[in-house]
Structure 1
Amino acid sequence: MTRLLAFSLTALMLAAAGCNKESTELPVDGRDFDGVGYSTTAVYSGRVIDGYLREARVWLDVDGNGQYTPGPLTLALDSGINIVLEEGEPTAMSGAGGQFRLDISGLARDAGEAPDLDPRSFALFAVALPGRTLEETASGDRPVERAFLLSAPPGVRNVTPLTTLARHLGLMGVALGDDSTRELAALLGSINLYGDYVVAGDHRAHAYARAFARYLAGQFPDSANAVLAAGDGTETVLGASEIFLLGASLVRGAPDILRAVDEAAPSGRYDNVDVAEVVLPGVAPDLTNPVLLRRQRVSAVPDSGDLPTGSSHLAISAELVFDYQADGRLISITADGCMMPSMIEMVRLANADGRMAATGTQWRPTLSLAPASRTFFDQKGADERLAFDWSARRATFETTTSCQPGLAAGSELGGQPAVTWQWTLDGEGRVASITDGTRTLIPDYGRISAGFLGYRLQAGEVLEEEVAVVGELQDCEATLAAEVMAAGRVISAQQSYTFAGHDPQPAQFTALQLDLDLRNGFDRLLGYSFLDPALAASAGLPDSNGFRWHFVYPLPGSLQYVADQPDLIGEALLAGHSADLSCGTDVSSLPSSLFGRVQFEYQTLSDYLIEQLQ
């Protein structure tokens, strides 16, 4: 299993806390000390603005973690010297007109110890406190109903929703006008992201800022909001990754927010816009920052000879890329080469409301054995796409290949789908059935082991396939010897199941067992067998005696292991059906004669969002 780390969130936060020079160039607006000397004995002042915000907590983020840090605070300078700020980060409450004055005398150092710390090297943060912070408006002071967090790039001393957008663009390594932000730049036009739009009388910028503030407040966690409602803003309520994800969500949602405000001001009278009535995008980020499946690399054609073959003789035939919303919901799976959409995986994901991390093992593999998959993989561009509309309970599939029996290939992706699946829910919010209009799959929730579901698949009234999980779970962990318990891949439990519907069914395809590893709190499916004559026929194989998936998971303590998500598959091997082993067997030795191999790559949600914007 490979975890993709194109950019590390930790590295970004350290960069912000070290030299504190974020990539967005800062104009003079909002800075009082460009080109002149500056003494750290002076007061560091500025404004907090939505409208002007009074009684908001403001602080200078000296350690770069995005939250107020009390003293004593130890800082490691680039020179290798450690210094201590006894009073912690400079902080104050804003007053009338949103003005704040920070006592930065603690940033002055003894000449023999280290240079004075320049406050312009650090980002300013402000948090609006529900019920306490007041927004100054033409009709009087209005209490803030819900908390939201604002920030500004280093050196900028107006702290506003617009400077918050600018700072997070910088943290993500993008600038307005880049390919990824061209639309955003066009919508903002000549808006000054760093200035005081209230004193400038810029109603358009003010309307945008108020919409951003409302969006940030709507995404602020309820638990954190409750703490701040009873506190004074010095409480630690969010971690660095949570703060980053809130900012990333603002960046991703900004174009839709701006368009919504523009539509509310058709005559260009932004002073008349009632931001409270503007319909804003509602995708809140998953602040747990889960690790998500990003790619499956499929090797399922022999470089010479026939299938099955050794792992080293399997050539890559497809690559599947998984894309997400900021809330961790899967948007689509795009294939370079051919994929085999799985109705049962759609069911598992729909039962998790589209949130991949909530499925545990995430998307279990399927693959195409059609030799044409390699041909399409070698050609440039995406070939197939499975897309999801969770609110409509619908999935659609497009293909430009000849791999799918009975489906007409389109000339390019983006046209009419070749297949549409629709599902219904039962009284418990689970999928009751899913159909493509011809075939219907009905899940069986009577017994579930490691996320393995029974089901009936039928075409009209004709039963095509039926899987049933039967009997009681057989757990043998208590009988395992110490050396077996320490092994990497052990069958510690088994669950019987039946597989029927294919006639004639091979005589040896009976007494089937799910092999499970439930040690140490795992919920891992190690392997199971299945029949699929169509899959066999796609590779020109004779009547199949069945296939078997073997799943391999990273070992605890390895670089690939995710402690909070221990059941992520690292690799899956497709072999022929074999006799079931007994509970307690060490299965570290894997089959060498294979039909296919699927390698999994993962990425944290925050790193995925950074990658998308770059």
Structure 2
Amino acid sequence: MTRLLPLALSLAVFSLTGCKNESTPPPEDGRDFDSGDYIEPGAYTGTVMNGYLSQARVWLDIDGDGQVTAGPLEITLESGTVVTLENGEPTALSGDNGRFELDTSELQLDATVGPDLDPRDYALYATILPGRTIDQSRGGVVLDKAFMMSAPPGVRLISPLTSLERFRALAGLAGQFEANATLADAFRHSNPRQDYLKAGDDRAYAYARVFARFLAAQFPEGTSEALANGDGTERLLDINAIKVLAVAFIRNAATLVQRVDEAAPAGRYQNVDIDAIELPVEGLDLLNPVVLATEVVFAHSEDGALPASRSGLERSAELAYSYNPAGQLVRIEANGCMAPSMQELARLANAGGEMAATGTQWLPSISASQLSMGYLQEDGVDEVLEIDWATRTARFYTTTDCHPELAATDALDGEPARSYQWSLNAGRVLSITDGERTLVPDYENASETFLGYRLMEDGVELAALDLTGELVSCLDQLDDADQLPPRVVSAQQSYQFSGFEPQPDLFETLLLEFDTRKERQRLLSYSFLDDRLAAVPELDGQAGFRWELFYQSEDGIIEPEQPNLIEQGFLTLHTRPQSCGRNEDSSPGALFARINRGYKRLSEILAGGVN
């Protein structure tokens, strides 16, 4: 399901530059329309089309945010001088045959201020207004669905085809159509920037029409309704949402082209029933959140002695995280070895698979096998975790010997080394099993960051984690709390861990520790027992383990709405809990492992999976 954005959004500025080359006027058939000379000051004309579209909102996106920006709009010149466009970005409604004319007179500057702003340096956008925009090429049909189109800087024809080129650039993908073999073949004899109606190019027109259908199908319904009641100047989608829409278009463009080709009887594209073509519509997270992209694990000691100092640990595994356009984690690839966690799978399933909705995202769970480094030193992926949210299953594949209880396979497909299955009730996980053990979540006093559980095998309880109390704050005891170091224990929550024989003495009293300043909830540390981790010969983990988590610094936060992203984690021995209110700004010295994490926008990760 598409996640809708609120009407009031904070806007990101995305600077765009373009080509300034002059060329000859366009030929009669409309080819190379974009290369027409721009001569007359104050007027910037062009055409918006699927068929020719009148009453579409067109604007010159000077500030690069993908929305109509009203005046006054401040623009910083290369010299550093700030100029103000009192009327904002040039905008107009298209007229007959899709023609539009933008008043760019404000872009002419006094010579003492700086050179004129050239409209060819900026991308054009057009939004179809439901119930108002008319497709004149289809007998005056009034369009009932909104969608957005664009064109590269300097191109004055806006169509679904120029939109594909423009959106590729917006997503950070080089090239126009030649990067994808299907698209390169489709446009081998067509110029995507041409007026395909004037040129009589039925094939390009068929592609444009199916692209327009897809763009309309992906456009958020709530935004479409708002446009039906407005004039297209409303600021409804920010640049992050537009990037997700752009990547979704790019991901599916080749499929759409193939389906048009298959539907063209004997290559007669004028006879294609565009409305009968099945669209590969995807759910989108238009918030375009920041999500976990990479993780590097340091858990190898050259001399075999663990725990070791921070500098004494060597890189042992590298993980890459993949997502679908809805923001659901669908795949983890490891060069080296990893350790899937049923507790984290359950927590993620409670968020519908959407990593960003978990707040802290994936709590660390690593393989400490000293064999991992050997696999890392060889090229290629060694282990994979695939997640299918529709069937509530996950499959783990390994070609390594890092897991004594699992049989390695020759390939990362076919029969998995281990499968996970979970059941839901009212959107929450009832239980999750790996075929041998079953984890039953306990939601008493649980938060989105941490939950209790029972670990069962053949109906026998192996271990249990009980959150025995609610979060207790000591924030009011801290003087000048916001002036303290980045990592301060300002709240604690008691829990019990049982089921291990013998139970370590220090595991009688346990506390989760949080930093709750600035209305955040950052889990700083937690202790645990893990028989599989303790079984690694190099680890002396009989006293239990402890994760110490460090988050992005204030100047390193990518997204203010997502401040609880773990940057580093340190695996050390469990120690006796201490009092609330401590400054915990230094990393521990004796380590079994550490992790470093990297994050990206969802659209960036999605764009990395297309060509």
Q: Is the 8 A contact 1:369 1:539 kept in 2?
A: no
Question: What is the 5 A alignment of 1:41-52?
Answer: 41=41, 43-52=43-52
Q: Secondary structure at the match of 1:520?
A: helix
Q: Match for residue 14 of structure 1?
A: 15
Could you tell me how far 1:214 is from its partner in structure 2?
2.1
Could you tell me how far 1:382 is from its partner in structure 2?
1.3
Q: Is the 8 A contact 2:438 2:455 kept in 1?
A: yes
Q: Match for residue 64 of structure 1?
A: 64
Structure 2 vs 1, CA of residues 383 and 77 (structure 1 numbering), >3 Å: closer, same or farther? Answer: same
Q: Deviations over 1:135-160 (max 9, x none)?
A: 2354x322222211111123322211
Q: Distance in 2 between matches of 1:519 and 1:84?
A: 39
Q: Match for residue 437 of structure 2?
A: 439
Q: Match for residue 198 of structure 2?
A: 199
Could you tell me how far 1:349 is from its partner in structure 2?
1.2
Alpha carbon RMSD of aligned pairs, Å?
Answer: 2.9
Q: Distance in 2 between matches of 1:471 and 1:419?
A: 35
Specify the code of the residue in structure 2 equivalent to 1:15. L
Could you tell me how far 1:116 is from its partner in structure 2?
4.6
Could you tell me how far 1:53 is from its partner in structure 2?
1.3
Q: Secondary structure at the match of 2:241?
A: helix
Q: Match for residue 574 of structure 2?
A: 577
Structure 2 vs 1, CA of residues 501 and 185 (structure 1 numbering), >3 Å: closer, same or farther? Answer: farther
Q: Deviations over 1:367-397 (max 9, x none)?
A: 1121101111111111101111112212111
Q: Is the 8 A contact 1:371 1:539 kept in 2?
A: no
Could you list the runs of 5+ residues in structure 1 that have no partner in the other structure? 1-9
Specify the code of the residue in structure 1 equivalent to 2:232. G
Q: Distance in 1 between matches of 2:541 and 2:79?
A: 70
Could you tell me how far 1:548 is from its partner in structure 2?
1.1
Q: Is the 8 A contact 1:450 1:516 kept in 2?
A: no
Q: Match for residue 414 of structure 1?
A: 413
Q: Is the 8 A contact 2:481 2:517 kept in 1?
A: no
Q: Match for residue 563 of structure 1?
A: 560
Q: Is the 8 A contact 1:31 1:157 kept in 2?
A: no
Q: Match for residue 7 of structure 1?
A: none
Q: Match for residue 591 of structure 2?
A: 594
Greater mean deviation of Cα atoms: 72-81 or 515-524: 72-81
Q: Match for residue 308 of structure 1?
A: 307
Q: Match for residue 131 of structure 1?
A: 131
Q: Deviations over 1:308-348 (max 9, x none)?
A: 11111111111111122233221211111100011111111
Q: Distance in 1 between matches of 2:590 and 2:571?
A: 9
Q: Distance in 1 between matches of 2:134 and 2:319?
A: 50
Q: Distance in 2 between matches of 1:429 and 1:240?
A: 31
Greater mean deviation of Cα atoms: 336-345 or 220-229: 220-229
Could you tell me how far 1:45 is from its partner in structure 2?
2.9
Structure 2 vs 1, CA of residues 490 and 607 (structure 1 numbering), >3 Å: closer, same or farther? Answer: same
Q: Distance in 2 between matches of 1:567 and 1:27?
A: 53
Q: Is the 8 A contact 1:133 1:144 kept in 2?
A: yes
Structure 2 vs 1, CA of residues 349 and 186 (structure 1 numbering), >3 Å: closer, same or farther? Answer: farther
Specify the code of the residue in structure 2 equivalent to 1:68. V
Q: Deviations over 1:208-234 (max 9, x none)?
A: 212222222223233432332111122
Q: Secondary structure at the match of 2:298?
A: strand
Alignment: residue pair count: 595
Specify the code of the residue in structure 1 equivalent to 2:184. A
Q: Distance in 1 between matches of 2:545 and 2:223?
A: 50
Specify the code of the residue in structure 2 equivalent to 1:55. Q
Greater mean deviation of Cα atoms: 436-445 or 573-582: 436-445
From 496, 506, 513, give the equivalent of 1:498: 496
Specify the code of the residue in structure 1 equivalent to 2:248. S
Q: Match for residue 316 of structure 2?
A: 317
Q: Match for residue 531 of structure 2?
A: 533
Q: Distance in 2 between matches of 1:484 and 1:146?
A: 48
Could you tell me how far 1:127 is from its partner in structure 2?
0.9
Q: What TM-score do you get using the length of structure 2 for normalisation? A: 0.89
Q: Match for residue 160 of structure 1?
A: 159
Q: Match for residue 370 of structure 2?
A: 371
Specify the code of the residue in structure 1 equivalent to 2:340. P
Q: Secondary structure at the match of 1:344?
A: helix
Q: Secondary structure at the match of 1:509?
A: helix
Q: Secondary structure at the match of 1:255?
A: helix
Structure 2 vs 1, CA of residues 481 and 165 (structure 1 numbering), >3 Å: closer, same or farther? Answer: same
Specify the code of the residue in structure 2 equivalent to 1:123. A
Say if 2:89 is the partner of 1:89: yes
Could you list the runs of 5+ residues in structure 2 that have no partner in the other structure? 1-10
Q: What TM-score do you get using the length of structure 1 for normalisation? A: 0.89
Q: Match for residue 40 of structure 1?
A: 40
Q: Is the 8 A contact 2:16 2:121 kept in 1?
A: no
Q: Is the 8 A contact 2:33 2:157 kept in 1?
A: no
Q: Distance in 2 between matches of 1:111 and 1:513?
A: 68
Greater mean deviation of Cα atoms: 247-256 or 26-35: 26-35
Q: Secondary structure at the match of 1:397?
A: strand
Q: Secondary structure at the match of 2:223?
A: helix
Q: Is the 8 A contact 1:450 1:523 kept in 2?
A: no
Greater mean deviation of Cα atoms: 94-103 or 318-327: 94-103
Q: Distance in 1 between matches of 2:64 and 2:251?
A: 23
Question: What is the 5 A alignment of 1:103-502?
Answer: 103-109=103-109, 114-138=114-138, 140-171=139-170, 172-176=172-176, 181-265=180-264, 267-426=266-425, 428-449=426-447, 451-482=449-480, 486-502=484-500
From 550, 553, 557, give the equivalent of 1:552: 550
Q: Distance in 2 between matches of 1:33 and 1:573?
A: 55
Specify the code of the residue in structure 2 equivalent to 1:61. D
Q: Match for residue 4 of structure 1?
A: none
Could you tell me how far 1:298 is from its partner in structure 2?
0.7
Q: Match for residue 603 of structure 1?
A: 600
Could you tell me how far 1:33 is from its partner in structure 2?
7.8
Q: Is the 8 A contact 2:328 2:354 kept in 1?
A: yes
Identity fraction in percent: 46
Q: Is the 8 A contact 2:34 2:193 kept in 1?
A: no
